[in-house]
Amino acid sequence: MITMRNLLFTIIFYGGSVPIVLTSAISALFGWKAMVAHTHFWTRFHGWTTRHILGIDRRIEGQCFADGPVIYAAKHQAMYETLELGRMLHNPAIVMKQELTDIPVWGWAAKRYGVIVVDREASAGALRRMLREARVALAAGRSILIFPEGTRVTPGEQPELKAGFAGLYQMLRIPVVPIAIDSGLVWPRQGPHLPGTVTFRFGTPIPPGLPRAEAEARVHAAINALERHQAIAPRG
């Protein structure tokens, strides 16, 4: 049954995503609102297929929305949250690695949507560009979504935060809302997707102005708050 669910999801979601992604450039020509509407259509399509075909639902714990723009710092274990959070958080500017924005058509549309490009080399020039793009997003009233560990990890992995998060936190001086996510339990890097529930746990906002080490420690602990449950969670 799980194999059949995964095959059907692959055919319907990825097959349907091809024309959606290719036509995103057309929507981008009509401005940011058209781009947002196009993106929401894709994320709703993703939510419907994951829920009704794969049997994956989501549970939200804590306060999802903040008063004014914030930095959302989230755990990253699967593709699932990259699409779900974009819709859930009302169009945040997503910090995205440069390789993704180099993808033909889609990368150009993503830039029109207003993603914040991060260079893994972490040069001074790259950091200045990231901050400049972040300030543009804040001026438009948008929050920022970053995966501060820098990459997708498997359940149980807790790498140190990348320098890009500290740069945003120190320079933008806005609160941080950490998000713990356990999507890797149902969406493993290897093997089929499994039916189950993904938890999005929104932590207590971390105020601006803290020393870098303290802010990083608090964010790291909060986004990994579900890890103790992952060690004993059933896999099927």
DSSP category for residue 159: P
Give domain status of residue 25, yes or no: no
Give domain status of residue 208, yes or no: yes
DSSP H or E segment with residue 117? strand 116-118
**Residue 121 belongs to a domain with what CATH number?**
3.40.1130.10
DSSP three-state, residue 35: helix
pLDDT in tens, 43-102: 999 999 999 999 999 999 998 777 789 999 999 999 999 999 988 998 899 998 877 777
Lowest mean pLDDT, pick from 27-31, 115-119, 120-124, 214-218:
120-124
Which comes out higher in pLDDT, residue 114 or 72? 72
Could you tell me the sign of the dihedral formed by the alpha carbons of 100, 136, 35, 47, in that order?
Answer: positive
Q: What average pLDDT does range 179-190 have in this prediction? A: 95
Count of structural domains within the chain? 1
Q: What average pLDDT does range 177-190 have in this prediction? A: 95
Give domain status of residue 17, yes or no: no
Cα–Cα distance measured from residue 158 to residue 48, given in angstroms and rounded to the nearest whole number: 30
Give domain status of residue 161, yes or no: yes
Q: What is the pLDDT of residue 42?
A: 92
Q: What is the mean pLDDT of the chain?
A: 89
Give domain status of residue 61, yes or no: yes
The boundaries of the domain holding residue 180 are 56-230
Q: What is the pLDDT of residue 229?
A: 53
Lowest mean pLDDT, pick from 31-45, 59-73, 119-133, 172-186:
119-133
Say if residue 25's pLDDT is above 70.
yes
Lowest mean pLDDT, pick from 15-29, 105-119, 183-197:
105-119
Give domain status of residue 148, yes or no: yes
Give domain status of residue 41, yes or no: no
Lowest mean pLDDT, pick from 15-24, 99-108, 149-158, 187-196:
99-108
Q: What is the pLDDT of residue 235?
A: 36
Cα–Cα distance measured from residue 150 to residue 122, given in angstroms and rounded to the nearest whole number: 11
Q: What is the pLDDT of residue 234?
A: 37
Say if residue 228's pLDDT is above 70.
no
DSSP category for residue 46: H
Cα–Cα distance measured from residue 166 to residue 125, given in angstroms and rounded to the nearest whole number: 16
Give domain status of residue 113, yes or no: yes
pTM of the entire predicted model: 0.90
Which comes out higher in pLDDT, residue 218 or 190? 218
